[in-house]
Structure 1
Amino acid sequence: MFGINTWKALRQRGVMGINQRNGDYVLMYNDRHLYPLVDDKIRTKNLALSAGIRVPEMYGIIDTEQGISTLDHIVETHGDFVIKPAQGAGGDGIMVISDRFEGFYRSSSGRMISPEELEFHISGIISGIYSLGGHRDRALIEYRVRSTDLFDRISIGGVPDVRIIVLKGYPVAAMLRLPTRQSDGKANLHQGAIGVGVDIATGVTLSGTWHNLKIDRHPDTAHPVAGVQIPDWQECLDLAARCYDLTGLGYLGVDLVMDKHKGPMMLELNARPGLNIQIAIDDGLVRRCQIVEKHLEKLGDDAEAEPVARRVALSKQHFAVARLPDQVITTAQ
């Protein structure tokens, strides 16, 4: 339990706690009637497509037990694919198929999966065991993202993603989430992935966090996690800022993936983004959010008319780190 001195120190650093996040940001800026736009991945995907935002291609949807038999038809022209619950959270229920062998499916971790096991997994998704609130759900079958070679040195068994926190359309913090063996190839911090802070101004990675501990190297590859230039960073920031206009949610976590062939794509949105990002960026979210809020006060009634380019420019100006790593890696080595 934190002592009073620790609590005061965290407050001075502008560190956001869960109660403050819920009361001052989630409840303040996110109307509950908008939550379904981001809690259902299929609805989010269709919303993004209508706005011209790149997302992983959807191959099909299975929403009944009888529909499970259509899986072969859905994936017959796709050697690899991803199955995920439409209303899942935290990476639970996601199954990544990398190829097939002698009638079996091979997962991204190399495990062989029988057709019966795959059908049983889909049945579990439909029954709601992975969904928010345990409600009946739908299984989404979609394109498997191929990670850029740049991340091979600092990622194991899966595809890294980028989480950007956006306040009223202004990116305020970003981190790269790196899969590990412990996370079974998933970019989920609670399952053992690494969170690496990203400089908003440049897209260069900083230090990392693993199980809430500060780290400098990936535990599996031993390579430094700092100093990697995330490709297409300006496009990533623009895309994240546009997600506010897309949903109307004022406090939002935007998850992006860097596909080897297709570039940045929006993976999903979160109306209640976690707080571990503060450890990764070594800075408090409250401090950064208050900078945006003061800017919005100055704009007054003109705030909603502020274009994406100007929002992103302000974020890059205010949230640049003082010192970047000495060496910046821009290509696979």
Structure 2
Amino acid sequence: MFWSKTRKALRARGVMGINQRNGDYILRYNKRSLYPLVDDKLQTKQMALDAGIRVPELYGAIATEQGISTLHRVVETHRDFVIKPAQGAGGDGIMVIADRFEDYFRSASGRIVTTEELEHHISGIISGIYSLGGHRDQALIEYRVRSTELFNRISFEGVPDIRIIVLQGYPVAAMLRLPTRQSQGKANLHQGAIGVGLDLSSGVTLGGTWHNQRIERHPDTANAVAGLTVPDWEECLELAARCYDLTGLGYLGVDLVMDREFGPMMLELNARPGLNIQIAMDDGLLRRCSIIEDHLDSLGNIRRPVAERIAFSKKHFAVAGPVPVSEPDSAVTP
């Protein structure tokens, strides 16, 4: 009886379940033949560059054990960089180097790292221990995104990212993912990062969830997470909407990062985006997707320009959220 009432309540809120996501959206809108476009970060990056979409600069890629010896040449002109698996998932296998210390490297958490440790980590990536399905992989060495001052106040060590769900080119829902001490600086909800809902119309943060519980402040910085406006929000929405035209995937998650110098960048794409965004948004994906699908049916499934798609989503999914914080020092510090 309890579970029956719970399911009815969730359906009434338009909440999407995992089976419904898999059957009615991923299988329906995403052709399996297109998955390699987003499962391989190197292929995704090149495709984005060809389309004029901003991504973190690639310094080099190492695909063989013999190639590990070239690492010093790849990074010799860079004091900081990121090493990541091309086919990784969930943030696993990512190593962030923030600086150099004589003949050593310093990680984002301040740990001193030797060249041998970097090479050992790359060897593990190549062997496939972080890749989808355990297949052999390659290590990407790329530009380290430097977060904005706004995000630094509501994040611990790592760089926050923005997840936007897109259906047939229409932004559906968005959240900000904030690293914590528990998540070890990674913007991964399953590892302890915070999910913060975003108003699609304005880019204003609505409130946070941590381990599926509502929170008002970041547990490490004590700064409020609601009422802040994401900079360059229009550009974020445009980047997300364009990723549908880029890949042909009808239902996908677009992950963006905000760099203090270059602005919004597309980090990666996900053909199987998770459902936790519904908790962060306090709203159901199914309800929003149904609105878009009804709209597409009325158009005869004619693809509309990016600007029209964004305008539709902003109109129908605007949220009356917290008043934006106007003063840069209004957040409470520990």
Q: TM-score, normalised by structure 1?
A: 0.97
1:234-267 CA-to-partner distances (Å, cap 9, x unmatched) read 0000110000000000000000000000000000
Name the CA distance, whole Å, in 2 between partners of 1:115 and 1:329.
45
Matching residue of 1:90: 90
**What aligned pairs does 1:96-111 form with structure 2 within 5 A after superposition?**
96-111=96-111
Query: Secondary structure, in 3 states, of the residue corresponding to 2:21?
Result: helix
Cross-structure match for 2:37? 37
Counterpart amino acid of residue 230 in structure 1: V
Match of 2:309 among 300, 306, 311: 311
- Give how far 1:108 is off: 0.4
Residue equivalent to 1:200: 200
TM-superposition CA deviations, 1:109-149 (whole Å, max 9, x none): 11111111111000000000000000000000000000000
User: Would the aligned equivalents of 1:175 and 1:198 in 2 still touch at CA under 8 Å?
Assistant: yes
Q: Is 1:284–2:284 an aligned residue pair?
A: yes
Aligned to 2:62: 62
Distance 2:207 2:156 in 1: 18
Counterpart contact for 2:204–2:229, Cα < 8 Å: yes
Please give the alpha-carbon distance, in whole angstroms, between the structure 1 residues aligned to 2:94 and 2:277.
23
State whether residues 204 and 328 of structure 1, in contact with CA within 8 Å, keep that contact through their aligned partners in structure 2. Answer: no
Structure 2 stretches of 5 or more lacking a match? none
Partners of 1:127 and 1:267 in 2: CA distance:
23
Q: 8 Å contact 1:150–1:330 — kept in the other structure?
A: no
Q: Which amino acid aligns with 1:317?
A: K
The reply to whether residue 326 of structure 1 matches residue 323 of structure 2 is yes
- Tell me, in whole angstroms, the C-alpha distance in 1 between the residues paired with 2:97 and 2:2: 44
Aligned-residue offset at 1:105:
0.9
Letter in 2 for 1:316: K
Structure 1 pair 2–284 and aligned structure 2 pair: CA distance change class (3 A): farther
Structure 1 residue matching 2:300: 3-state secondary structure = helix
Q: Provide the secondary structure at the position in 2 that maps to 1:84.
A: strand
Instruction: Provide the rounded CA distance (Å) in 1 between the counterparts of 2:112 and 2:73.
Output: 20
Q: Does the 8 Å CA contact 2:204/2:324 hold for their aligned counterparts? A: no
Distance in 2 (CA, whole Å) between partners of 1:296 and 1:213 is: 35
Whether the 8 Å contact between 2:229 and 2:324 is mirrored in structure 1 is no
CA–CA separation in structure 1 for the residues paired with 2:181 and 2:17: 29
Structure 2 Cα separation of the partners of residues 195 and 2 of structure 1: 28
Cα distance in 2 for residues equivalent to 1:22 and 1:324: 30
CA positional deviation for 1:164: 0.1
- Residues 66-81 of structure 1: pairs in structure 2 closer than 5 A: 66-81=66-81
Letter in 2 for 1:280: A
- Shift of residue 330, structure 1, vs aligned partner: 7.1
Q: Residue 224 of structure 1 corresponds to which residue in structure 2?
A: 224
Aligned mates of 1:195, 1:261 — CA distance in 2: 24
User: Quick one: which amino acid aligns to residue 307 of structure 1?
Assistant: P
Cα distance per residue 1:24-79 (max 9 Å; x no partner): 00000000000000000000000000000000000000000010010000011100
1:3 equivalent in alignment to 2:7: no
State the distance in 2 between where 1:201 and 1:326 align. 14
Structure 1 CA distance for aligned equivalents of residues 84 and 157 of structure 2? 17
Q: Quickly say closer, same or farther: Cα 1:99–1:283, change in 2 above 3 A.
A: same
CA positional deviation for 1:328: 2.4
User: In the aligned structure 2, how far is the partner of 1:24 from the partner of 1:198?
Assistant: 25
CA-atom RMSD in angstroms: 1.2
**Amino acid in structure 2 at the alignment position of 1:310:** E
Which deviates further from its counterpart, 49-58 or 213-222? 213-222
Identity of aligned residues (%): 75
How many pairs does the alignment contain?
Answer: 330
Query: Distance between the aligned counterparts of 1:272 and 1:103, measured in 2?
Result: 41
Specify the SS of the correspondent of 1:268: strand
Q: Tell me the distance in 2 between the aligned counterparts of 1:314 and 1:239.
A: 16
Per the TM alignment, residue 2 of structure 1 is displaced from its structure 2 partner at its CA by: 6.5
Shift, 1:326, TM fit: 2.7
Partner SS for 2:308: helix
Once the two structures are superposed, residues 148-199 of structure 1 have per-residue CA deviations (whole angstroms, 9 ceiling, x without a partner) of: 0011221010100000000000000000000001111111111110000000
Q: For residue 172 of structure 2, what is the aligned residue in structure 1?
A: 172
> What is the rounded CA distance, in whole Å, between the counterparts of 1:96 and 1:64 in structure 2?
21
Q: CA deviation at 1:324?
A: 2.2
Rounded to whole Å, the distance in 1 between the matches of 2:63 and 2:120 is 14
Change (3 A) 1:2 1:128: farther
**In 2 relative to 1, CA 144–36 (structure 1 residues): closer, same or farther, beyond 3 Å?**
same
Q: Paired residue for 2:13? A: 13
Please tell me whether the aligned partners of residues 253 and 270 of structure 2 are also in contact (alpha carbons under 8 angstroms).
Answer: yes
Shift of 1:211: 1.1
**Are residues 295 and 332 of structure 1, via their aligned partners in 2, closer, same or farther at CA, if it must alter by over 3 Å?**
farther
Paired residue type of 2:220: D
In 1, distance between residues paired with 2:40 and 2:13? 35
